[in-house]
Amino acid sequence: MDTEQETGSGPSSDRKYREVQQSAEFGELRRSHRSFAFPLTVGFVVWYFLYVLLSIYAGDFMGTKLLGNLNVAFAFGIAQFVTTFLIAWWYARHAAAKLDPKADAIKNRLEADA
């Protein structure tokens, strides 16, 4: 028995994966992912570095008291955690609605050809 065919590895399997990678369907999946993930990542990194730079160069502003002993720096720090969880939640919803169905269709087609 040919073990390359059994395990799905070998030249024919490589060709199938390359065909899928070059397909319009896979390109659309990548575009959907990138158009969501990259802007959000850039936005979050800018937001994070704003926090860091304000902490370094605007100490008086960051030390401004808001409520009792809570200051602007503490509020920014908590906001970093909140935005991290919001982005993760938003990405999970986006992936479930837009990315997973496309990825499943590609996977099912690839497995059906095997």
Residue 33 CB contacts under 8 Å (≥ 6 apart), including other chains: 99
Q: For 35-90, what is each residue's pLDDT tens digit? A: 999 999 999 999 999 999 999 999 999 999 999 999 999 999 999 999 999 999 99
Domain ranges across the chain: 11-113
Read off the pLDDT band of 8 (50, 70, 90): low
* pLDDT score, position 13: 74
CA distance 26 to 31: 9
Mean pLDDT of the chain: 89
CA distance 41 to 36: 9
CA distance 37 to 83: 14
pLDDT over 60 (residue 20): yes
